[in-house]
């Protein structure tokens, strides 16, 4: 029993608050100022026994030109066209406005199922606005409070018969569909192949590859994702900072199941003073932590600014596989010289990501997207790679013989054993004597050797040194077997 419900209405009527209430998580940014939401955000909603897809939309503006408000309106109208049910919210405390009347007329013509709700109806302040809602001619409105959760039972009672209607429609469609000649096996019986697949890290429909696209404002992140999708799914334009929410979009990209996160542009912390921008950047940082591969998108005109380096370093510190993409490459003259300069700067400025793929793309024309896809899949494979313990210990012996660890204070450091303890990203433990005395330069020598020897280029590598020194069996003991007896025995 599933259907698609779009929440629409003027700016600041509480659409995102209600969206968060239905999905049970604070996915959408919420603030008192109008126009916070600009893109379409989807989530899986739960309301009583119902499970359905809910879409949070931008506030409907009375604009039809190519301005930002006009583009937002067209995106919302598209959500209305694709939805099974439209939940039209008005602000009960403000009452019905001329803009509400315009959009009520649009919804009557565009959508077969429209539910009218007077949000912010808690208390007596929303009484008059609730009564005014009858004048819109969309039936009896529902009293709601997205913030306090009031009116959810009434919404459920209205949605239930619609859900049953959609379920009957889907059942009829399934009956009319041709039968498959594929053997589906015994339902509920797990095969050995299924068990192996569950342990496989490779992307699947149930566990798609998580990709976050990050970068400075106006680098072209939303345009790039729209080009990958093949449709204008995300709001774009010449204005910097259009994207505010971290929007996740599931899709098939050249046969690979992925979920792509579009994030807000990240400026220097000193320049971020607006509360809403702080929320947007925080939302983007959560997307980075949730992702498996982070695509750092640069502007070809001004690559590797200080903020770009901070963003890439953040992804590395969070332990994510990193792919660097240089956008607007179609506008670059003398591309061979520029590419050589970019690679040199990348190796020099981000040594902790040595070997990470650097791909040139054009989000406007789609050029280079095939290479970007291949680089992301490869980075994800390296991020999940495991190296057998026997190979690691042979490698460690060769590395220490070629370049022995230092002997600070005359104490020789012996590295005795090595194993990989985890992947995603690869992490290794080395049992060593005096691990606290191993200098950072020698740890870098080992990390760089791991990258080269086991093709771990571009992924974060964690090396943990643990004490393997022989313990004094008499330490902490007293009496006949304690230190005094040992000294006496030794004379």
In the DSSP assignment, the letter for residue 208 is P
- Is 218 annotated as contributing to ligand binding? yes
- Is 340 annotated as contributing to ligand binding? no
- Is 12 annotated as contributing to ligand binding? yes
- Is 408 annotated as contributing to ligand binding? no
- Is 119 annotated as contributing to ligand binding? yes
- Is 22 annotated as contributing to ligand binding? no
- Is 59 annotated as contributing to ligand binding? yes
The confidence score (pLDDT) of residue 471 equals 52
Q: Which residues of 94-104 are buried (b: 16+ CB within 10 A; e: fewer)?
A: bbbeebbeebb
CA Rg value for the chain: 29
Verify that 89 and 134 share a domain, yes or no.
Answer: yes
Q: In angstroms, rounded to a whole number, what is the distance separating the alpha carbons of residues 1 and 51?
A: 7
- Is 121 annotated as contributing to ligand binding? yes
Verify that 12 and 145 share a domain, yes or no.
Answer: yes
- Is 327 annotated as contributing to ligand binding? yes
The confidence score (pLDDT) of residue 472 equals 45
- Is 163 annotated as contributing to ligand binding? no
- Is 9 annotated as contributing to ligand binding? yes
Which tops the pLDDT comparison, 91 or 74? 91
The confidence score (pLDDT) of residue 103 equals 85
- Is 217 annotated as contributing to ligand binding? yes
Verify that 256 and 376 share a domain, yes or no.
Answer: yes
- Is 338 annotated as contributing to ligand binding? no
Q: Give the pTM.
A: 0.67
| pLDDT band for position 412 (cuts 50, 70, 90) | confident
- Is 253 annotated as contributing to ligand binding? no
Verify that 333 and 313 share a domain, yes or no.
Answer: yes
Q: What is the largest CA-CA distance in the chain?
A: 106
- Is 341 annotated as contributing to ligand binding? no
- Is 234 annotated as contributing to ligand binding? no
**Domain extent at residue 413:** 389-467
Verify that 283 and 343 share a domain, yes or no.
Answer: yes
- Is 444 annotated as contributing to ligand binding? no
Verify that 455 and 326 share a domain, yes or no.
Answer: no
Tell me the average pLDDT across 112-120. Answer: 90
Domain boundary among 158, 175, 192: 175
Whether 475 and 398 have beta carbons less than 8 Å apart is answered as: no
The confidence score (pLDDT) of residue 275 equals 46
Q: Check which CATH number belongs to the domain holding 432 and give it.
A: 3.30.300.20
| pLDDT band for position 258 (cuts 50, 70, 90) | very high
- Is 58 annotated as contributing to ligand binding? yes
407's CB contacts (< 8 A; 6+ apart) are 413
| pLDDT band for position 487 (cuts 50, 70, 90) | very low
- Is 266 annotated as contributing to ligand binding? yes
pLDDT at 356 over 80: yes
| pLDDT band for position 68 (cuts 50, 70, 90) | low
- Is 448 annotated as contributing to ligand binding? no
Q: Check which CATH number belongs to the domain holding 256 and give it.
A: 3.40.50.300
- Is 60 annotated as contributing to ligand binding? yes
Verify that 282 and 369 share a domain, yes or no.
Answer: yes
- Is 432 annotated as contributing to ligand binding? no
Q: In angstroms, rounded to a whole number, what is the distance separating the alpha carbons of residues 328 and 94?
A: 45
pLDDT at 369 over 70: yes
- Is 13 annotated as contributing to ligand binding? yes
- Is 287 annotated as contributing to ligand binding? no
Verify that 399 and 328 share a domain, yes or no.
Answer: no
- Is 329 annotated as contributing to ligand binding? yes
The confidence score (pLDDT) of residue 453 equals 95
382's CB contacts (< 8 A; 6+ apart) are 321, 455, 456, 457, 458, 459
Verify that 376 and 396 share a domain, yes or no.
Answer: no
- Is 221 annotated as contributing to ligand binding? yes
Verify that 223 and 263 share a domain, yes or no.
Answer: yes
């Amino acid at each position: 029993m599933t259907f698609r419900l779009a929440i629409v209405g003027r700016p600041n009527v509480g659409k995102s608050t209600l969206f968060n209430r239905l999905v049970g998580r604070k996915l959408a940014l919420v603030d008192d100022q109008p126009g916070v939401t600009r893109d379409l955000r989807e989530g899986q909603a739960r309301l009583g026994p119902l499970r359905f897809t809910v879409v949070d939309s931008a506030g409907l503006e009375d604009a039809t030109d190519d301005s930002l408000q006009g583009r937002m309106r067209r995106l919302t109208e598209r959500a209305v066209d694709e939805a099974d049910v439209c939940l039209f919210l008005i602000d009960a405390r403000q009452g019905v406005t001329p803009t509400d009347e315009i959009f009520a007329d649009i919804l009557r013509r565009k959508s077969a199922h429209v539910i009218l709700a007077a949000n912010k109806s808690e208390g007596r302040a929303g009484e008059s606005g609730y009564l005014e809602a009858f004048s819109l001619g969309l039936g009896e409105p529902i009293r709601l409070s997205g913030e306090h959760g009031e009116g959810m039972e009434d919404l459920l009672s209205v949605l239930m018969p619609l859900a049953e209607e959609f379920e009957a429609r889907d059942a009829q469609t399934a009956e009319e569909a041709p039968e498959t000649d594929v053997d589906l096996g015994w339902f509920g019986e797990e095969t050995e192949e299924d068990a192996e697949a569950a342990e496989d890290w490779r992307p699947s429909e149930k566990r798609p590859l998580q990709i976050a696209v990050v970068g400075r404002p106006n680098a072209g992140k939303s345009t790039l994702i729209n080009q990958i999708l093949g449709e204008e799914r995300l709001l774009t334009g010449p204005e910097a900072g259009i994207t505010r929410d971290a929007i996740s979009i599931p899709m098939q990209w050249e046969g690979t199941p992925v979920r792509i996160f579009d994030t807000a542009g990240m400026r220097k912390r000193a320049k971020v003073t607006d509360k809403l921008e702080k929320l947007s950047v925080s939302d983007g940082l959560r997307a980075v932590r949730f992702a498996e591969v982070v695509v750092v998108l640069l502007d070809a005109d001004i690559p590797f600014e200080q903020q770009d380096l901070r963003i890439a370093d953040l992804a590395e510190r969070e332990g994510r596989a990193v792919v660097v993409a240089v956008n607007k490459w179609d506008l670059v003259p003398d591309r061979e010289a520029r590419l050589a300069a970019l690679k040199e700067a990348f190796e020099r400025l981000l040594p902790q990501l040595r070997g990470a793929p650097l791909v040139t793309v054009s989000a406007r024309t789609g050029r280079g997207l095939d290479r970007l896809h291949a680089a992301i899949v490869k980075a994800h494979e390296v991020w999940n790679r495991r190296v057998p313990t026997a190979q690691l210990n042979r490698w460690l012996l060769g590395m220490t013989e070629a370049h022995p660890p230092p002997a600070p204070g005359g104490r020789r450091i012996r590295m005795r054993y090595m194993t990989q303890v985890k992947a995603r990203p690869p992490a290794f433990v080395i049992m060593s004597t005096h691990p606290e005395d191993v200098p950072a330069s020698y740890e870098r020598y080992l990390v760089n050797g791991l990258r080269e020897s086991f093709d771990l280029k571009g992924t974060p590598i964690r090396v943990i040194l643990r004490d393997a020194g022989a313990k004094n069996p008499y330490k902490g003991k007293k009496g006949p077997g304690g230190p005094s007896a040992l000294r006496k025995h030794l004379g």
